[in-house]
Amino acid sequence: MPELPEVEIVKQSLDKNIKFEKIKKIVVRNRSLRFKVPKNFEIILKNKTINKISRKSKYLILHLEDIYCVIHLGMSGTIHLINRKNFNKNTNTSFYGYSSLPLKHNHIEFFLKKYRLIYNDPRRFGFFKIFKKKKLLDFFNNIGPEPLNNKFNINYISNYFINKKKNIKNFLLDQKFVSGIGNIYASEILFCSKINPLKKAKSLTKSDIKNIKYFSKSILNQAIKKGGSSIRNFKNVQGDNGRYQNEFKVYQRENLNCLNRDCYGKVEKKVISKRSTFFCSRCQK
């Protein structure tokens, strides 16, 4: 699943290419996404100008004059841009998934002046929703602050964890506590913080909490700068390479030596709440 850095890269790609473009036409080939695409979706968005593209947590937001179109990529969704005049081999707006447009599962297509914007999603867990401003604010009411937001501070984390028995790995994946972190970055954050993923939130020390705050922000910022993470290495629509997968300290490094200095442990893999978690039990306490 694309996490905050990967969605931020999509946002940056769209902002660079389609900002101020008018939607000439929309074709919906499959309305059965996580939520049904409304029957009047094409009519509502037709001839609207894309004034701005923003991101909230793992959500993309198209600002369309008086309305907003919220896009969530789900487990396997990707957005591709096809230049309508000059054929471009690399179409993916991020580094997640396939660099070129797949032949199957292209569910929604936006026709703009210069580009065709295509939403591809094999598992169909993503969605498109349309909101007026007040409803948009209501929609985001139940998610926590991003790690990059000043609201995600030591006082907020400490107060949230009082008497909480749930383990810290599950809290980092809980979007009501902090939004935008997924499975990859949760493992990386806990490794750099030297915290065992099974440690109960209420047992975290002040030093632990400082490390969680610091490394959550630091790692996500590094991932954004390097284009996000991908198991595959390819160029995006801008012709750039995503490189953060080369920085992984523990994720997908099972049985390899721990990278912490003076630690002679090996990276272990454990399934926690049905999610693969990578850590070093020797230096993560």
Catalytic-labelled residue, pool 31, 269, 275, 282:
275
Tell me whether residue 243 is one of the annotated catalytic residues: no
Tell me whether residue 21 is one of the annotated catalytic residues: no
Tell me whether residue 275 is one of the annotated catalytic residues: yes
Catalytic-labelled residue, pool 55, 58, 116, 226:
58
Encode 160-193 in three state secondary structure: HCCCCCCEHHHHHHCCCCCCCCCHHHHHHHHHHH
State whether residue 7 is helix, strand or coil: helix
Apex 131 CA angle, 26 and 84, nearest 5: 25
Of the candidates 174, 227, 154, 280, which has an alpha carbon nearest to the alpha carbon of residue 2?
227
Tell me whether residue 113 is one of the annotated catalytic residues: no
Give dist(CA 4, CA 184) in Å, integer: 11
Give dist(CA 37, CA 128) in Å, integer: 7
Do the beta carbons of residue 204 and residue 195 sit within 8 Å? yes
Q: Which residues are catalytic?
A: 2-3, 58, 275
